[in-house]
Structure 1
């Protein structure tokens, strides 16, 4: 049975260093547009934007300390809400460079913001705002993050608070009249 895998599957996570500078924003994932992601209009299909943002989230999880071993313990982060803003088209084989910032967090939730840029021109291609929830996978319900992950999230959030909040964050969708 085929399943979706990220480019980071099986790579573990990097050790956390409390003394290391935390980039603002985090730049953890780059890729190129796969031929499988291109639709009948000749550019990356809308579902593939979410796929790439998911790969960026997985890179973030590993930065934070969440990997296969952590998931085997019966805990994980699930995405419970996503708002994607497509800004520009991108074609097959074009380079993508992604960033992520932590907007907020509490004991169970993490609010993140992704930006997808063209890896050559730097043009903003798309953004994604997401709410993540820490889950006990056996129970099928939310549960508090362990203290060591809350500590790391707090450090990342402090580093990212200096960044301006993007205009699209928290903006409702609708037809303006």
Structure 2
């Protein structure tokens, strides 16, 4: 009999969500997650493995979900956010034990989608280690399809958007990947 594999657990599971205070200023960008590089994230090159950068950005997204009001209780009622596209830009290596500090900005949103930008920086020297641009979709998990955010979450997204609109759009946002003259783009 095969054993059931353990599922991926974020550091925020079971913590609920932060209470939303309408009068509280929204930080721009949000700084909701930090972590040291764990030993199990280090690969044969002696630094954090590429898949673990995505894992840490996912934990940062989960911190944002809880800031917004999406937690286990929300998911139990059939709502969640699913990532539909991610672009990672690795800039510098991080070794075991080094501190990581993440920020997140809301680039855009509509009734069903959220466009996020993450930065991962070294916790001591503030060097940019990596960025991630993500498109997420609000879903009804029972029906298995996209659905609009409830009004309360749209209102919160609007408040975050207003604060984050003052930030400059990073130069990598929306850029396709390719080599100039890339043969992969030619029609066959």
Q: TM-score, normalised by structure 2?
A: 0.93
Give me the whole-angstrom Cα distance separating, in 1, the residues matched to 2:18 and 2:139: 22
User: Structure 2 matches for 1:54-133, cutoff 5 A?
Assistant: 54-133=58-137
Aligned residues: 177
Shift of 1:138: 1.0
Give me the whole-angstrom Cα distance separating, in 1, the residues matched to 2:37 and 2:180: 33
Equivalent position of 2:53 in the other structure = 49
What is the CA deviation profile of residues 50-103 of structure 1, one whole-angstrom value per residue up to 9, with x for unaligned ones? Answer: 000000000000000000000000110000000000000000000000000000
Equivalent position of 2:7 in the other structure = 3
| Structure with greater Cα Rg | 2
CA RMSD of aligned residues (A): 0.5
Equivalent position of 2:139 in the other structure = 135
Give me the whole-angstrom Cα distance separating, in 2, the residues matched to 1:128 and 1:41: 22
Three-state SS of the structure 2 residue aligned to 1:120 is coil
Structure 1 gaps of 5+ residues are none
Runs of 4+ displaced beyond 2 Å:
none
Shift of 1:165: 0.1
